[in-house]
Structure 1
Amino acid sequence: MKRKILTLLLLIAATPLAAQLYHPGERLDYRVSYRAKMFPNTEIGAVEVSTVEESHDGTNCYKVVGAGRTLPTYRWFFNVEDIYTVWVDPQTLRPMAFNSSIREGDYTFRSDYVYDWEHSEIRTRWQSRQRPEKHKNMPLEENSMDPISLFFTLRAADVASFREGEPATLQMVLEDTIRHLRYRYLGRETKKIRNMGKFRTLKFDCQLGSSQGYSFTDGSVFTIWISDDENKIPLYIESPVKIGSINAYISGYKGLKYPLSSLIK
């Protein structure tokens, strides 16, 4: 359950696009809760996704940071601090580099990716705890992305291009494997978000394949509701676990490029 909290939230909003919406100054805040029969809605964590302009290796780019942390009340029980960062070329809107720093209890993990689009290759390196660092080069395809890049993939989509119930698949780079994300558009739905109000949303059913890449029999399943406006903000995600479910919902936002017209006043 612990690894699902941030990873799933950063995977949401994933469909193929010709472009993605990166807007410097935008910040999205989320709360993560655990829900079960004996725990109707227990908030356990917070996630922040922010975009700024920054120079990386001498190139001006968009820097997007996704940070997930356990709320102070629960840090004594299990302390989580996961930070994912991606640098994006503002001209091509392709990711240039990716970094993750994960601390969950006594477990630590870091990884770095370098995208070489000219030679269609991605170079990855990763290390957990005190184990030796590992490296791997893998083929890079147009729709191969890290979790943060996938987070933005839906943002500029033309809603008219969605076909209800039609399945599609994307690829996600994870250290030494290419995992597959399968999704289906389920249609429009009005969704009430705690402390935020009611929104017109686009609903998607998603499934992340296992580490073998093509197998979906033991992957993660989740449902995502996205704002039905030009911003395409992920508003709510729900994923079942062995007992109950993990839920993440938007709790605040600022610096949006477009009006949040999906909010029903």
Structure 2
Amino acid sequence: MKRFLLIILLLAAAAPLPAQLYHPGEVLDYRVSYRAKMFPNTEVGSVVVRTTAEPSPDGEAFYKVVGIGRTLPTYRWFFNLEDIYTIWVDTQTLRPVRFQSDIHEGDYTFESYYTYNWADSTVRTRWRSRKRPFSEKSMPLTAESMDAIALFFNLRTAAAESFRENEPATLQMLLQDTIRHLQYRFLGRETKKIRNMGRFRALKFECQLGTSEGFSFTDGTVFTIWISDDENKIPLYIESPVKVGSINAYISGYKGLKYPLTSLIK
């Protein structure tokens, strides 16, 4: 589940641009399912991503984006999971200001906090598992290195015509004390049928999240993602193979989109 919340939050579509799409009131709902030869396509979890506008105590305005992944009630007796990721974004510069994660997976807990300082191009990170003391690190910051949620919103205004089929590119994801690299290739356009939602015109990408060493993709996570072929560019369907079968996430609802969802075929 944590993998798919992060993947949904990593739109990974093109090289960085100054514009980002933060629209208060936007809500994206997803279902996560497991599929194998001996098992039906079983829904096991849900993910929701919400964007709101939130004033700070000192009067500044921020966009607040929250991504929450949960195990469905039917499976919580077996494995209870609730992962929450939150960022605050400056409404003027459209840059992330703060990030935090609060992860609960069975008996395992993990929390992390990032504070961005764009004036001197650094980010301060703090993280810990369970109730151990915090570890801290300060790292250099570039326009290409952001947390997972900021990357998700980065470039949603990119023109699809700028994508080049089979041309590899790399994005950078900030993760505690290191930078993880996300490699992707645009595979082209196709029509994608989504359960209970209909058929969509989609942009298809093959992506691979590098290992903790950063540049190694030999044993990183590989997944395929389809995003809506319209101005919203929202993730529609994600598929990732596992040792037995595959895990899939697909959009199950949406509201408050900034642009009409013209990719939906009537």
TM-score bucket of the superposed structures, by smaller chain = over 0.9
1:45 is aligned with what amino acid?
G
Matched, 1:164 2:165: yes
Give distance in 2, aligned partners of 1:254 and 1:260. 10
1:23 is aligned with what amino acid?
H
8 A Cα contact 1:26 1:51, kept in partner: yes
Q: 1:123 to 1:14 in 2, by over 3 A?
A: farther
Deviation at 1:155, TM superposition (A): 1.2
Matched, 1:21 2:13: no
Question: What are the Cα deviations for residues 110-130 of structure 1, in whole angstroms up to 9, with x where unaligned?
Answer: 000001111010100001012
Give distance in 2, aligned partners of 1:154 and 1:139. 22
Matched, 1:11 2:10: yes
Match of 2:154 in 1: 153
Match of 2:238 in 1: 237
Give distance in 1, aligned partners of 2:88 and 2:207. 26
Question: What are the Cα deviations for residues 44-101 of structure 1, in whole angstroms up to 9, with x where unaligned?
Answer: 0000000000024632110000000000000000001000001111111111110000
Matched, 1:177 2:202: no
Spell out the pairing of 1:1-265 with structure 2 (5 A cutoff).
2-16=1-15, 17-56=17-56, 58=58, 59-265=60-266
Give distance in 2, aligned partners of 1:244 and 1:56. 46
1:8 is aligned with what amino acid?
I
SS in 1 for 2:164: coil
2:253 is aligned with what amino acid?
G
8 A Cα contact 2:180 2:213, kept in partner: yes
Deviation at 1:14, TM superposition (A): 4.1
2:29 is aligned with what amino acid?
D
Give distance in 1, aligned partners of 2:13 and 2:151. 5
Give distance in 1, aligned partners of 2:51 and 2:133. 32
2:42 is aligned with what amino acid?
T
Gaps of 5+ in 2: none
2:67 is aligned with what amino acid?
G
8 A Cα contact 1:14 1:151, kept in partner: no
8 A Cα contact 1:68 1:80, kept in partner: yes
Deviation at 1:153, TM superposition (A): 2.0
Question: What are the Cα deviations for residues 220-251 of structure 1, in whole angstroms up to 9, with x where unaligned?
Answer: 11111000011111100011111111100000
Give distance in 1, aligned partners of 2:28 and 2:2. 20
Give distance in 1, aligned partners of 2:205 and 2:76. 32
1:3 is aligned with what amino acid?
K
Give distance in 1, aligned partners of 2:174 and 2:30. 24
Percent same amino acid among aligned pairs?
Answer: 73
8 A Cα contact 1:13 1:234, kept in partner: no
1:6 is aligned with what amino acid?
L
After TM superposition, the score normalised by the length of structure 2 is 0.96
After TM superposition, the score normalised by the length of structure 1 is 0.97
Deviation at 1:188, TM superposition (A): 0.4
SS in 2 for 1:138: strand
1:256 is aligned with what amino acid?
L
8 A Cα contact 1:13 1:152, kept in partner: no
SS in 2 for 1:40: strand
